[in-house]
Chains A and B, each alone.
Chain A
């Protein structure tokens, strides 16, 4: 059974924000909102859970730091401790200031890149991915709210969406 959905199109981001709140109030189910640019406060209005991307980044950063420490400890201290310009290569601690720039950069490198890759994976974006845009105008100047009809009355829902300021309401089977 293909679920019926309605596409309500709006011309203004303020209207979208207001409409989302109204639709939520009536307990209709919003599947997705498409917008050409970020609308401040939309995630809160839709009740989306906050992102945990920052936490993953912190953990990736720690991973990078660990990699840097283990790598340099093995190469410079354990494997072949040479006297290079009189730098004390007896223990990691002795020679630590030389390692700090690399430790810092690898922390940032891991934190940044792995977080970006996580973002791509979680939002399912990759090259040659087929665009999932329901209406081309939503990348330019229109906003679209996708509402599930479910077991509500279709006419009442269309009427309600028009009242929230939608310029067009389309039924998609």
Chain B
């Protein structure tokens, strides 16, 4: 039986407090008026020093600003400004700074959302993987079921927080929630049957309730199995898992369209949802591996051997390649055809996030493939941990690049708010997962595949 040690508890509470303070600082320092935004911009420009001259930086901004499809309130604000000023120049400038103000106000929201979703997607990916293990009647993994159940205990708090962020972010994230903008935009009007606020809320709540219901019943049955005299709870879990996977593939796709793709409502991509799923599952497997290694090292999992680790590492390797495949599938098709309405999504990412955009590819593909290719290395805990750290950092950047270019555009940075948000959710994750692991013995009982799993050898 695992028990969350006082030290870990203390560390995670400190992380939560520091993180919360940092997030609060981010929201408080966000500019509330145009003048403040201009001041921040001026400071930024002088801060950039010689490499970025104010002149070139400004022209780049203007260019990016026009190419960006997600110019929230773009035309609406433009119209108003034109009416009041009657001057083309003044109109351009004012409209520009209003746009900047909006993006700067969005920054703390986006930072919190990126970190919040990153940790939610880990727990959610583990939940999907757990369901797959039941449905596929896998023989090697039952010894890891309690670890997976522990990690999925984060689904409840994580999904509620992300749900709240998504519902209250409003126009910060989702330009289609701006009625003035929709009134002038034929494309958004055409999508308003799907992209309207009440339906958006209903959908989001359905996803979260569905995921949590499965998690609740699956864990309850798994624990009931330990004292049951027959395989009733196991059979139930098998059935629930089948239906959950059906539900999950639908809700995960719609979640990706709702929460991420609709940040740039003029843009669409068919394999976007699977791409997010790939990010999710590879981070989830990495966290399963790392948690298992830590618990094993502390002596809680004597029945887990290096063959189990080898299998998890194989999945990390395979899904890293799968993620790259989808990333490239999406990128190459759009790059090749170069249709203006599709390509804006990558234009801003390549022009303004160049190092992150391509650096992420190296971290998420090249490193795992080189580190985890060798069969012997996959059995060495420290190798798996190193590869896992690369994968987690890489996929954090991945989520960052899904959200930031679409919401804050050119005014991105990795500062106090971003770091604080990661610390906050890391602390919460550690606390929730740690206490979740302590809820039941780490060794399951009566699972029909337990014996096979214990003797598993590859």
By a beta-carbon cutoff of 8 Å, the part of chain A in contact with chain B is 54, 58, 86, 97-98, 100
Contacts and interface: CB of A to CB of B under 8 A. Distances in A.
A127 B335 CA distance: 48
A52 to B, nearest CB: 12
| A-B interface, 3 closest residue pairs, ranked by CB to CB distance from nearest | A97-B332, A97-B335, A100-B328
Contacts of B332: 97-98, 100
B336 interface: yes
B267 interface: no
Contacts of B335: 97
A54 B331 CA distance: 31
A97 B338 contact: no
A147 B158 CA distance: 65
Nearest to A101: B332
Interface of B is mostly: helix
Contacts of A86: 338
B373 interface: yes
Interface of B: 328, 331-332, 335-336, 338, 373, 375
A100 B328 CA distance: 9
A58 B332 CA distance: 26
Contacts of A58: 373
A49 B328 CA distance: 39
Contacts, number: 12
A53 to B, nearest CB: 12
The listed residue with most B CB atoms (<10 A of its CB), out of A58, A97, A98, A100, is A97
Contacts of B336: 97-98
A89 B328 CA distance: 20
A160 B237 CA distance: 54
Nearest to B334: A97
Contacts of B331: 97
A43 to B, nearest CB: 15
Contacts of B338: 86
Nearest to A55: B374
A46 to B, nearest CB: 18
B84 to A, nearest CB: 42
B70 to A, nearest CB: 24
A85 to B, nearest CB: 9
B330 to A, nearest CB: 11
A58 B373 CA distance: 10
